[in-house]
Amino acid sequence: MSVDRVPEKPLPEGDKPGLISSLKQMPTRIYHSIFRYRPVPQNELEQAQAVADNFFFHIHSAKVRERSLKLKTTFGLGMLTLNVFLILCATGVLLMFYYVPSPDEAYERMQDLNGAVFFGRFLRNVHRWAAEAMVVLAVLHMMRVFLTGAHKSPREWNWVLGVVLLLLTLFMSFTGYLLPWDQLAYWAVTVGTAIAKYAPLIGEDLRYVLLGADEVGGEALIRFYVLHVAVLPAIMFALIGWHFWRIRKDGGLARPTTPQKNEVTPVTPDEQPEYDRFPKTEGKTYGLMAVIPIRTPQTGADVEKQVHSWPSALGRELVLFVITLLALSLAAIVWDAPLEGPADPSHPPNPAKAPWYFLGLQEMVAYDAFWGGIGIPTIFVLLAFVAPYLERRKGGEGVWFHPSRSAANWTFLSIMLLLTVLTIIGTFFRGENWDFVVPW
Amino acid sequence: MNRLEHLEDDRAGAVKKTRRSFISWFSVGALAVCAGVMTLFNLIFLKPRVSQGAASKFRIGKPENYASGSVVEMKEAKVVVRRDGNRIAAISTICTHLGCTVNSTDVGFECPCHGSIYDLQGDVVAGPAPEPLAWYRVGLTPSGELEIDKQSVVDAGTYLEVEA
Amino acid sequence: MKIRIALFVSSLALTLVVAGVILTATNEDWREHQSAYYDAALGQASSDTVKAAIRESGLEIKQDMLTGFGADRRADRCRTCHMAVDDPNFVDGTEPLRTHPDVKGHSFNEFGCTICHEGQGRALDKYHAHGEDKHWPEPILAAPYIEASCARCHPDPYLDETPHLRRGRQLFEKYACVGCHKMQGISRGTLGPDLSDIGKRYRIKYLRESIEDPAANMAMTIMPAYRMPEQDLVDLVVFLKSRRGKTIFEDPITLRTKTRKWKKQQPEPHEVTVEDGKKSFEDRACVACHKMGMKDGGLGPDLTFAGLIRDADYMEAHLADPRSHTPDSNMPNFWMHETERKAIAKYLASLTDYRAPLKPEEQYMELCARCHGERGDGNGPAAANLVPRPREFTNAKFFNWLPDERGWAAIHEGVPGTAMPAFRQMLSEAQSKALFDWIREEFLKAKRTERRKPRKLPTENPVAWTPESMERGRIIYQKRCYGCHGRFADGRGPNASEMLPRPRNLKNTAYMNNVSDIRLWESITHGIVGTGMPPWEYLPDSQRWDLVNFVRGISKTGAAAKGSDR
C-alpha cells in the first residue's frame, strides 16, 4: 500500500466516486484515520511529526539534546525502571487470571503456576525477578539523580515525586511478597509488619489496619492483594505520568549552564541554516517543530546540539526495553522464583527474615527497636524529601560528582553505603537467632 | 547543493544504506517474532490445562455396580447413567434450550424452566428445546472402571458394551 | 549507526533467549512419560478398539481431585507421569510406568496418591513432585517408611501389613524412649519433647539423625546417642513418622478408647531372677545414661558396684518413682511393671563383686570422680544431671569451716536425699577418713587453717513446734528467704540459678531428717561459709527459732526429726 506523507485529501466534494472505487480506497482511508503519516519518517518534518503527533511518543519533545542521550548521562536507569514497571504490570495482570487471594488456595495456585499452567512458571519468575530488579533500579536511579545534582532547582518537586515513587515501589514489592502464601512470604510479612509496630502512637493501628487482624492471615492477604493489584498500581501510574511530565516542564534532563564545546552546534554567523531540509508546503510553519540551528537572537548563547527524538531517543529506548526483556527472560529461565513450603503459622523459621530490602531495617531493629525501626528510617526519609531544598546555591547540575557538591555527595553516599552494608549483613551474615554467621 | 552532487553522494552511501536497512529490518523482524511468540504463549497461558472444580473426565466405578435396567442420575456431574442389559450409556441432563438442568422421569426428561420434554433417548418431544440431549462417551479404564468424558459427545444411541 | 547495531545485537540475543523460553516452556518431563506409556500400551493392547482409543488420546495432565481425608480439596497429579498405576499390564514395568500393587479397598479415585506416599501432588516435575526440594515439608515416603502412612487412618499399629511399624512401636518402649518423651496414649515423660505429632513435623532424615546423633540437630540436648542396629533404627523411625497427632477419622473420644486398647498386656507378678534383671537392664538401654563396667552413657551415676552402695528395696523404690528417695532426681520414670522393677533391682543389688583400690587417689578416681570431677570441681560427667549438685572440693572456705566429722560421715554413711551413697561396704572407717584427708590436701592445696573457737550453741529448741510458731516462721521466710530458697522452699528461688552451691531444697524430707534443730539454727544464725547463705544474727532469736520450726513443718520432718546431725 502506498502511503503519502501528508494526510489524505478530505472527502471529495461534488460528484460522488463510484461505490467500487470507494471500497478500493477503504484500506487506505482506514490506515490514514489511525496513522497520519508514513510508518517510517523520511525527512525531518516527518520525524518531528512522528513524535509530536503520536499518543505514546508525545511525552518526548520533537528534539532532544544530544547530551541527554549519552549513556553516561543517565545510564538509562529511569527508563529501565519504567520498563521493568511495565513488564510487571503486564505479567501481573496475566498472573491475576490464576491467582486467588485466599489462604486456602493462594499457595495451591502457586503450585499450579509452577507446572499445571502452561507458561505459568515463566511468567511468575519474570514477575518476581522484575519486582526485585525494580527496587534495585529505582534506588540506582535515585543515586544517579543525586550524584549528578539533577534534583536541584527547578527539579526539586520532581525529586520529591521520585522519593514517593521509591517508597511506593517498596510498598508494592512488600504487598506482593505475601501473595504466594508460602513460609517465606508469611514470615517475611509478619516480621516486616512487626517493625511497623515500633512507630509511636500510630504503630499499632497502622499494623492493625494493614493486616485487618492481629496476625497475618486471610484478612491480611486480601488487603495486601487489593493494595498490590489495584490501589498502588493506580497511584503509581498517576505519579509516573506526573514524574515524566515534570521532566519536560522542568526543561529536560539536568545539564550545566554553560555547555561543553563538543555539545554545541558549530555555527558561524555567515553560514545559513539549511531551510531546504524542510519541505515547503503551503500553510505550514515549523516554529515549534524544530529549533533552527543558529545563535538565538535574544541571548547570543550557543545552541546545544540537538537531535530528533525519532529515531535517536526512541531507538535508544527500544534498545533499553529489549535489554530489559532479555535480562528478565534470561533470569526467569535460569532461576526459579523462590517458593517455600506452605505458610504454617505455628512453625516460624529461624531466623524469620523480612524481604531483603527491609533487612537493613531489621538489622537496625536488632540494635535498637525504636531508633532502628522508626527513628532513623524516618530521619532518612525526611532527609530524602527535603534534600533538594537543602541545596543552597546553584551549580553542579548534570555533572557527576561536581566538586562544588562534594559534601552533599559524600553525605548521601555514606548513608547509601550504610544502608547497603546493613542490608548485606542482614541478608547474608545473620543466621539462627539473628546471630552473626559467616555465609561460607 | 545541486542535483549532480546529490547523485554522487547517493552512490557512495549506497552500500552503507543497504547494510543499514538490512540491520534495521532484521532487528524489527526478530523483535516481531519474539513479540509474536510471547503473545501466543500468553494466550495459551490463559487456557487452563487442569480443572479446578469437577473434572470433565471422571470415573464412576465398575460396571457391576449398575444393575441392568437401572438409571442413575448424578446431580453434580449433570449426567444420567443408564444400563440396558450389557450396554451402558451416559446422557447429559443439560437442557439444550437455555442450559437448565432437566429432571429425569420414568418416560424421559423434562425441563423445569421452559417446559421442554425429552424422551428416554433424549430426543425432543415437546417444548422449545432445539436439539436432543447430548450423549457422552463412556469408556473403560485399564483397571476396569467406567469413565465418562464430558468433552466428547457421541451420537445418540452409542452404548458401551460390557461383559455381563 | 551505533544504536542500530546495539538494537541488532540485543534483538538477536532476545531471539536466542526467546528460543530458550520456548524450549523450557514446552519441554515438560511428563510429556515424555505419557508418550512412552502410550507406545508401550499400544504394543500390549488386546483389541482394536483399545488400540484406537490409545491412538486417539492426546497428552494431557491427569488430575485426581479429592475431597475428605484431612483436606477440603486435594489435587493429585501423580498419574500424569505414573500412567500405568491402574493398568494391569505393567506389573513388571519400571517407574514411573509400573502397576500399583493392589491394596484392597483403597482406590485411587477415592484416596489419591499423596495421602499415603506424600510428596507434592500438584507438582508436575519429579524434583518438586517427589518433595526433593528442601522446602516441601513432606517428601515422598519410600518403603518401608510408607507404612507410617497407614497409621493416618488405622491408629492400631499392629496391622499384619505393617511389620516395621509394629516393631517400631515395641522398640519405642524397648529403648526406653517412653521414659523421657511424651507420646499421646503411650507415655508421659517430661524430660524430652512431646513426640505425639513428631511425624507431622519432621522428615525421615531428621528423625534418623535425632536418634543416631541428637546433638546434630540440637546442640544443648541431653538425649543420649543411641547406637542400635540399622533394622531397629529404621523401624523406630517408621513408628515415629507414623505419629501425626491424631488420625484423620478420629475425634477425641474414639482416640481415648483406642488408647485404652493399646495398653500393653501386663504380665502377672512372679518370682524373678538376677538373669531376668540383667536382660531387662540391657533391653531398657540403661547404659544410654548410666555407666556399667565398660559401657558408659556418660550422663548418670556409675552402677558398676550398685550392690555395694544401695540395697534392692532402695533400687525398686527408685525405679517405681525416681523421686522417692532423692526428691530432685532427674531420672525419668519408665513406668515399668512391678515384676520388671523387681528384676532390675535384684540384678543391681547382686552387683557386689567389686574391690575398691587401696590408695586414696585411686579410690577417688573410681568412686568419686564421676560426680565430683577429676579435678574436684564438682563437675564430673554426671554432675549436670544431679540435684543437688556434688560438692566442689575446691571450695576452700566451705571445707575449712566444715567439721571433719561431717566429711568422714558423708563418705561413710552417705547423704540421704541426695545422690551421695554410703561407701561403708567398700571402705573401712579408717579408709574413709584417709580418703577425706587426701581430698582436702589434693584440692584445697592448703593446710587446714585453725577453726575459730567453737560457737556457743543452744542445746535445745526453746520455741515449741506449734502451728502459730510455724505461721510466724512462714511470714519471715516469705520476707527473707524466698529469694534464694524459692516461694515453695524447693531451692528454686529467683536468685538460685546464680548461686553455686545451689540453695538447699528445704522440702527434701530425707535430707532434712538428718539435720537437727540446732544445726538449722546455727546455719540461720551464722550463715554457711563458702555458700550464698548469709548470717541472720540480727533477727531476734525467737524469730530464728520460728524459722527452724517452719522448715521442720515444710520438710515434713516435724518434731520427730532424727537430727543425728553427722
Residues of C within 8 A of A311 (CB-CB) are 3
**What pLDDT sits at residue C405?**
83
For the record, the C-alpha cell of C527 comes out as 550463715
pLDDT in tens, B49-87: 888 777 778 888 888 888 888 888 888 888 999 888 888
**What pLDDT sits at residue B1?**
40
DSSP H helices in chain B: 3-46
**Selected residue of C1, C5, C7, C55 to mutate for chain B interface (largest B Cβ count, 10 A):** C7
**What pLDDT sits at residue A77?**
95
B141 and B70 share a domain? yes
Q: Does residue C17 fall inside a structural domain?
A: no
CB neighbourhood size of A268 (10 A): 7
| Confidence at A285, pLDDT banded by 50, 70, 90 | low
Query: Residue A293 is which amino acid?
Result: P
Q: Does residue B51 fall inside a structural domain?
A: no
C165 in Cβ contact with C145 (< 8 Å):
no
**What pLDDT sits at residue C337?**
81
To which residue does cell 492477604 refer? A221
> Which residue would you say has higher pLDDT here, A121 or A393?
A121
Task: Give the closest of C7, C17, C122 to A329, CB-based.
Answer: C17
A206 in Cβ contact with A196 (< 8 Å):
yes
Which DSSP category does C302 fall into? B
C352 in Cβ contact with C305 (< 8 Å):
yes
Domain residue limits at C479: 467-563
What ipTM goes with this model?
A: 0.86
Of C192, C326, C2, C472, residue with least CA distance to A312: C2
To which residue does cell 527452724 refer? C548
Q: Does residue C344 fall inside a structural domain?
A: yes
Residues of C within 8 A of A347 (CB-CB) are 201
**What pLDDT sits at residue A4?**
46
Number of domains making up chain C: 5
A149 in Cβ contact with A404 (< 8 Å):
no
C366 and C430 share a domain? yes
Q: Do residue B49 and residue A116 have CB atoms under 8 angstroms apart? A: yes
To which residue does cell 584445697 refer? C444
> Which residue would you say has higher pLDDT here, A14 or A99?
A99
- What is the 3 state secondary structure string of B13-30? HHHHHHHHHHHHHHHHHH
d(C-alpha B65, C-alpha B73), whole Å: 14
> Which residue would you say has higher pLDDT here, C67 or B114?
B114
B30 and B66 share a domain? no
**What pLDDT sits at residue A277?**
54
C345 and C395 share a domain? no
Q: Does residue C151 fall inside a structural domain?
A: no
CB neighbourhood size of A112 (10 A): 24
C524 in Cβ contact with C547 (< 8 Å):
yes
Residues of B within 8 A of A123 (CB-CB) are 42, 45
Q: Does residue B52 fall inside a structural domain?
A: no
What's C509's domain CATH number? 1.10.760.10
d(C-alpha A163, C-alpha C395), whole Å: 66
> Which residue would you say has higher pLDDT here, A76 or A346?
A76
B113 in Cβ contact with B121 (< 8 Å):
no
Of B40, B66, B46, residue with least CA distance to B159: B66
B36 and B14 share a domain? yes
Q: Are strands B79-84 and B87-92 parallel, antiparallel or unpaired?
A: antiparallel
Q: What is the mean pLDDT of residues C118-126?
A: 90
Q: Does residue B23 fall inside a structural domain?
A: yes
CB neighbourhood size of A222 (10 A): 14
Q: Do residue C75 and residue B50 have CB atoms under 8 angstroms apart? A: yes
Locate the domains of chain A by residue range: 65-256+309-434
Sign of the Cα pseudo-torsion (C437, C441, C443, C446, in order)? positive
Specify the 3-state DSSP secondary structure of A134. Answer: helix
C130 in Cβ contact with C93 (< 8 Å):
no
Q: How far is CA A185 from the centre of its chain?
A: 24
C526 and C555 share a domain? yes
Q: Does residue C15 fall inside a structural domain?
A: no
Q: Does residue C511 fall inside a structural domain?
A: yes
pLDDT in tens, C489-547: 888 888 888 888 888 988 888 888 888 888 889 899 988 888 889 898 888 888 999 99
Q: Does residue C314 fall inside a structural domain?
A: yes
Domain residue limits at B31: 3-46
Residues of B within 8 A of A98 (CB-CB) are 48
**What pLDDT sits at residue A333?**
93
pLDDT in tens, C387-406: 888 888 888 888 888 888 88
Q: What is the mean pLDDT of residues A183-207?
A: 86
Q: Does residue C7 fall inside a structural domain?
A: no
B69 and B12 share a domain? no
Number of domains making up chain B: 2
| Inter-chain CB pairs, A–B, below 8 Å | 27
> Of A30-39, A146-155, C343-352, C435-444, where does mean pLDDT reach its minimum?
A30-39
Of C97, C94, C121, residue with least CA distance to C33: C97
CB neighbourhood size of B34 (10 A): 22
Sign of the Cα pseudo-torsion (C380, C382, C384, C388, in order)? negative
Q: Do residue A118 and residue B42 have CB atoms under 8 angstroms apart? A: no
C131 and C39 share a domain? yes
Of C349, C378, C410, the residue at which a domain comes to its end is: C349
Q: Does residue B69 fall inside a structural domain?
A: yes
d(C-alpha B93, C-alpha B80), whole Å: 7
Distance in angstroms between the alpha carbons of the first and the last residue of chain B? 100
B106 and B30 share a domain? no
CA-CA distances (angstroms) from residue C513 to C405, C482, C501, C555? Answer: 18, 21, 20, 8
| B73 Cβ under 8 Å from any chain C Cβ | no
C136 and C219 share a domain? no
Touching chains, A (3+ CB pairs < 8 A): B, C
| Confidence at A388, pLDDT banded by 50, 70, 90 | very high
Of A11, A1, A380, A360, residue with least CA distance to A192: A360
Of C241, C271, C289, the residue at which a domain comes to its end is: C241
pTM reported for the whole predicted model? 0.75
The answer to whether residue C239 scores a pLDDT higher than 80 is yes
| Confidence at A172, pLDDT banded by 50, 70, 90 | very high
B147 and B68 share a domain? yes
d(C-alpha C408, C-alpha C415), whole Å: 11
Q: What Rg do the C-alpha atoms of chain B give, in angstroms?
A: 31
From the candidate CATH numbers 3.40.720.10, 1.20.810.10, 3.30.360.10, 2.40.50.140, the one assigned to the domain spanning A65-256+309-434: 1.20.810.10
A387 in Cβ contact with A395 (< 8 Å):
no
